[in-house]
Structure 1
Amino acid sequence: MSENFSPFIREEVKSFKPYSPGLGIDEIKHKYGLSRVIKMASNENPLGVSPVVQETITRNSGLAFRYPGANNPELCRAVAGHLELDPACIVCGNGSDELIDLLIRMLLVPGRDNIVAFDPCFSIYRLQARLSGVEFRQAKLNPDFSFNLKELLKLVDANTRVVFLTNPDNPSGYAAPASELDRFASQLPHGCCLVVDEAYIDFAMPREHYSMLSFFKNDSNLVVLRTFSKMHALAGLRLGYAILPVILADYMRRIRLPFSVNILAEKAGQAALKDSDFTRESLSIITRGRKFLSVELENLGCSVYPSQANFIMFQPPVNAGHIFQELLKRGVIIRPLDSYGFSHLLRVSIGTREENETLIKYMQEIIG
């Protein structure tokens, strides 16, 4: 009987391929009979959740029966204070994914408007565009994975409503100077937004050289996305925010589901913004680990791409698929990039010192 519904499913849904997450720790433990698995595949903070945030969640757990405030005003004020912006510009969401979806549905008319992005890009841009029935155009990155903004601009026309850029980019870790992106934004036609996804901006050095926030007040067509998943280690609580022109923020609040950010995530986010010791230590761990892995991987004959993120992309001197499988057998999960179209490349998240050293030890064994 359920097959009777098939003719009524939208064509965009019938051919839909869902987002493909990285492998899970329990999955690999079970498959290979391992007692310990190191996950270095999903760009998570290797330090785990801050003790300050853990204590905040525990202290507020009794509030779980309450609905959060509509549009999370306390969290929006906290974010605005942290960034020295007007709270009217801030909209919080159930991860950046929700905000990306809302932007597309708010700004684009199916069958008329289009979105422009690089190839490859964060797959959620493409998936949500397709689900919304919106044309999705892509320009190739330069061979070194830097941004070919001239080619990107060629795809923009009068019906382009959004250009998506991830900076620093995933999976390469490349980051473009904010001044370049500001010039690009000034070339976009009226009614077209430049949406810069800064999920990894906290790991770029110096951050002010790469972040678009310094241009936000002057660029009327700029939207900046941020997340609590990376630096603040709250990936499991699903929390992000958008920084938008006031008029766009107002409309987004109108269409956003009223309680998409739960009350514990809201409290955790506020605590995370105050925990400067944790963010300072996280940045130190990532910076030192990024340098260590880059040097050691190069010593093993790998071609390592420069990164301003909390991960490294590299090409091993032997088959990448072989490296990936052999690491799995030893209990280390990294990310193959077949889904991006790069079967010869691998991506590894920066771990703790012990995790990084373990990875290199196993890589030495495998490469020989």
Structure 2
Amino acid sequence: MKVLSVVGARPQLVKLAPIAAAFAGTPHQHVIVHTGQHYDADLSDVFFTGLGIPDPDIHLGVGSGSHGAQTGAVLAAMDKVLEGERPDWVLVYGDTNSTVAGALSAVKMHLPVAHLEAGLRSFNRRMPEEHNRVLTDHCADLLLAPTEEAVRHLANEGLSDRTRLAGDVMVDICLRVRDAVLAGKHPAPALPEGIDPERPFLLATLHRPDNTDDPARLASIIESLAALPVPVALLAHPRLITRADEHGVELAQGSVRVGRPLPYAGLVAAVMASVGVVTDSGGLQKEAFLLDRACTTIRPETEWVETLEGSWNVLVPDPHTMPVSEWAKIATRPAPEAPHGAPYGDGTAAERVVKLLEEAHTP
């Protein structure tokens, strides 16, 4: 069996790590195509070296651009790749422009498509990720759902016959890296200047268009972070830096200390060193949950509804609309004492994904 993985953004590279490891122990051929959607070394290259992922077999180098331009560039480039490779499965990951473009290219060439992390829904049609995941699910042949909730979403859309519960491969890699960090196998994370890892601090990321594209909203979110009573280590995504520069918003103010995105092991170590997380990232919400840290999400909704149980994750759509004391109480709350269970699986999802691909493969 020949499986071609299409990846291009940081969250996909993290998910690729356990999948690549699972394929390495089989006779199957696994071809990795990197679209280059994230071309910044902090968001791409470092993940290959840090997570032990084999170098990409093919690099498309599409780079940045509008959603339409980026999706179109991946779609056009993938046609030639798929003509040459003719895989038994095209495996696409998550909900980025690379995801939907890879799926569409394969479908139009009558190649079977499997969607890893299928069935997630925010029900927010303003999110480009929501368009990507819904379109991909409805054109894919095999839907690899991470949770029971995702399985229910797919059933509600009439896709039960293509759906399989695979578990969440992010658990595989997160727990593996957590254990390595605890064993001292990774250096201390490069936190922003002014952050003392021995003293309480919050870890923060911000990158979604709804939070960064409007100058007033971005300014108000940064002001809310700046007003918190503990230092905030803001790992600044290139998109955030670009928008802040365009809008004239100063990121480093008040409690906020600005640093660069971290390699995955560094991110895991930073979450573990922190007293909590503030983010609009879907992946970081779940990583905080898996690492037993309270998370505050600056969005009106989340795809990972399981994290909301027991207040492990709290949604705060507009922190600047509430009193500073109330906002600070939420953002700096301690992790809940009650255990959160394992709604995302036991850390063996990647092996199950390979098995499900084998079972669905028709030579």
Q: Same fold (TM over 0.5)?
A: no
TM-score, structure 2 as length reference: 0.34
Between structure 1 and structure 2, the one with the greater Rg is 1
TM-score, structure 1 as length reference: 0.33
Which of the pair has the greater relative contact order for Cα pairs under 8 Å at 6+ separation? Answer: 1
